[in-house]
Amino acid sequence: MSQKEEVKVDEELVREIASLARLDLTDEETRTFVPQFQDILKYFSILNELDTENIPPAYLSSANKSVTRADKVEESVPTQEFLANAPQAKDGYVVIPRVLIEQ
């Protein structure tokens, strides 16, 4: 998308994004988001006033470079402590409804 164009936010776009973000929005939420997104994105388009052609992106905040650790084994967490938070667990596994793979 070109930087000068304005995005047209509609319910379809909101639904598409919601599906990508795994949010099951209600119809009311979808309707509310449309004008809110439009407003916010419109305001954010003030960034287009700036020519950033030759400006490098800032990306990472850290002052560090190449932070690594030695390949050393450290103690793991007992399985039960980890599973204590799991909504469902069995025989050491985290359990979920069956993942469907079409064959």
Partner 1 sequence: MEPYELSVQQTHELLVNREISAEELMRAYLERIQRLDPKVKSYVTVTEENAIEQARDADQRIKMGEGLTPLTGIPYAAKDSLSTRGIPTTCSSKILENYKPFYDCTAIRKLKSTGAVLLGKNNMDEFGMGSSTENSGFFTTRNPWNFDHVPGGSSGGSAAAVAAGLAPFTLGEDTGGSVRHPASFCGVTGLKTTYGRVSRYGLLPLVSSFDTIGPMARSAYDVALVLEAIAGHDPKDSTSRIESIQPYSEILRKTENLRGLRIGIPKEYFVEGLDAEMEAALRAAIRQIESLGARAVEVSLPHTQYAIPVYYLILFAEASSNLAKYDGVRFGLSERNVDSLLDVYLKTREMGFGAETKRRIMLGTFALSAGYYDAYYLKAQKVRTLIRRDFEKAFETCDALITPVAPTTAFRIGEKISNPLDMYLADVFVVAVNLAGIPALSVPCGISNGLPIGMQIMGPHLSEEMLLRIGYTYQSQTDWHTKHPPCWND
Partner 2 sequence: MKYEPVIGLEVHAELLTKSKMFCGCEVVDSITAKPNRTICPTCTGQPGALPVLNRKAVELAVRVGLALECEIHTESIFARKNYFYPDLPKGYQISQYDQPLATDGKIRIETEVSPRRHGDAGPKDVRIRRVHLEEDTGKLSHADGYSFIDYNRSGVPLLEIVTEPDLSSPEEVKAYASKLRAILRYLDVNSGDMEKGVIRFEANVSVRAAGSDQFNTRTEIKNLNSFRALTLGTEYEIKRQSEIYERGGTVEQETLGFNDATGKTYSQRGKESAHDYRYFPEPDIPPLVLEQSWIDSIRASLPELPEAKTSRFIEQYELKPQEARLLTSEKALADYFEGVVSKSKSPAKTVSSWIAGEFMRYLNDLSIDVTNIPLPAEDFAKLIDMVTDKTISGNSGKVVLGEMFRNGGKAEEIVKAKNLAQVSDAGFIQETVAKILNDNPKEVEQYLAGKESILQWLMGQVARATKGKADPTVARELLVKSLEAKRK
Site residues, partner 2 (CB under 8 A): 19-20, 22, 59-62, 64-77, 79, 82-83, 90-103
What token pair was written down for 68?
């690594």
The reply on whether position 69 binds partner 1 by CB under 8 A is yes
Report helix, strand or coil for 30. Answer: helix
Query: In the complex, what is the shortest distance from the CB of residue 14 to partner 2, in angstroms, rounded to a whole number?
Result: 15
CA distance 56 to 58: 6
Position 22 contacts partner 1 (CB under 8 A): yes
Out of 27, 71, 75, 81, the only residue in the binding site for partner 1 (CB under 8 A) is 81
- The position carrying tokens 């070109």 is 2
From the CB of 44, what's the least distance to partner 2, in Å?
Answer: 17
Give dist(CA 72, CA 78) in Å, integer.
19
